[in-house]
Structure 1
């Protein structure tokens, strides 16, 4: 049966509502979707040492928060399309800040733990990655997925932990997958995830991936759907990416 017919039947049986604000209609209304079209540099409150240049499509607050959680925790898989498009926008943003023009782009999804995979019954980050790749290819970006990371241990619940404690909690939980496929010459690695808060996960992932790029290779970058706002600097220093003034710099140069 045609996918459009199935979607129409689903709407009749289970009327859709916006996952962000609850307004009946699209899975993500235009107003809420617009909140995920403001790519900006993610700025954790305290930059962990080695935090990679990271772009987020929107801020993890307001309607964006329930939309991301609906996809991640409540099984609303239909949100993969708009959230994946947001992730693609973030990837394009982080690539725009590199110089010279990057070569082949390889998205590296942050792997979920075994317990999370069992609880959700799916790998939500890989779903977002697939949608983002489709969007990037349609825009002419030579993107593909490369599963270079694997989990090697189980981190404790990070709720209530400080940034330093989160980093220590995640230390050693990622490793390179055995026998990774050879990367194309000049390939740019972009770690992708749904949300960045303290930056500990992306920092640990980038540290593990760095050897795969080689000393001469481009730095490891990162992109996420949304980032927790940095309240103290948001109004004066956090702005959408644009011209040359928004070229990416290391954490020490931005903070």
Structure 2
């Protein structure tokens, strides 16, 4: 039924790439390639306690409209390629810490977001990522180990300190992962890192001493700004008549 619905949709509304807009797949090869460049997600000001986090690509260029189309504009068919990108980010952790089952913990959506979108897009990404990981031979599962414990306002326009205060007490643990499992908090995008930090902190409190630390993985991360290079000052030119060598004894 889903295949038939997709075929009928293609007849009425031909598909275009959500990243660059060219006719064809939901995410063209060029735009998908931008989400196959794993990197450390490092905000400009890393919050204290932020888990080591891997992003599949940079939240810039065609990646930004693709994520927005999936998250805000109902293009649920992007769960496949974006979930594959998330799986790539998780696989980096699994490769560095082999031999452990991987448990993906999606950041839970707020009630307001669920009402507005009618879906939990991060859970959709986590489910697609688990399918990709299992197909690659990785023992992976998704677990809803976090719940929203309080209300938060929209974080747009807030400073890092305001975001941290806004998220204080937001998450609560709703279970524990199997001992020895590799816990990876997953989200769509990381900007300031405060959401992942708050979620990971709650999960870390449920882990026994000495167990594997909580990690993070996202589809894309806001790139750090590149600061312009300040040219070095030219060497001082001595004025004419100035003594430049050692003084001779008189």
TM-score by length of 2: 0.88
Alignment counterpart, residue 167 of structure 2, candidates 148, 167, 170 = 170
CA contact (8 A) 1:48 1:164 kept: no
Q: 3-state SS of the aligned residue for 1:144?
A: strand
Structure 1 residue 6: Cα displacement:
3.1
Alignment counterpart, residue 200 of structure 2, candidates 186, 194, 206 = 206
1:79-118 correspondence to structure 2 within 5 Å:
79-98=78-97, 101-118=98-115
> CA, structure 1 residues 183+159, in 2 after alignment: closer, same or farther (shift >3 Å)?
closer
TM-score by length of 1: 0.86
Q: Which has the larger radius of gyration?
A: 2
**How many matched pairs?**
229
- Alignment partner, residue 238 of structure 2: none
Structure 1 residue 102: Cα displacement:
4.4
- Alignment partner, residue 244 of structure 2: none
Q: Any unmatched runs of 5+ in structure 2?
A: 228-250
State the alpha-carbon separation in 2 of the partners of residues 146 and 111 from structure 1: 11
Structure 1 residue 217: Cα displacement:
0.8
Greater share of residues in helix: 1
Alignment counterpart, residue 142 of structure 1, candidates 139, 144, 166 = 139
- Alignment partner, residue 121 of structure 1: 118
Are 2:146 and 1:154 equivalent residues in the alignment?
Answer: no
State the alpha-carbon separation in 2 of the partners of residues 104 and 47 from structure 1: 28
Q: Any unmatched runs of 5+ in structure 1?
A: 234-255
Q: Which has the higher contact order (CA 8 A, sep 6+)?
A: 1
Structure 1 residue 38: Cα displacement:
0.3
- Alignment partner, residue 6 of structure 2: 7
- Alignment partner, residue 15 of structure 2: 16
CA contact (8 A) 2:86 2:219 kept: yes
> CA, structure 1 residues 122+12, in 2 after alignment: closer, same or farther (shift >3 Å)?
same
State the alpha-carbon separation in 1 of the partners of residues 70 and 10 from structure 2: 17
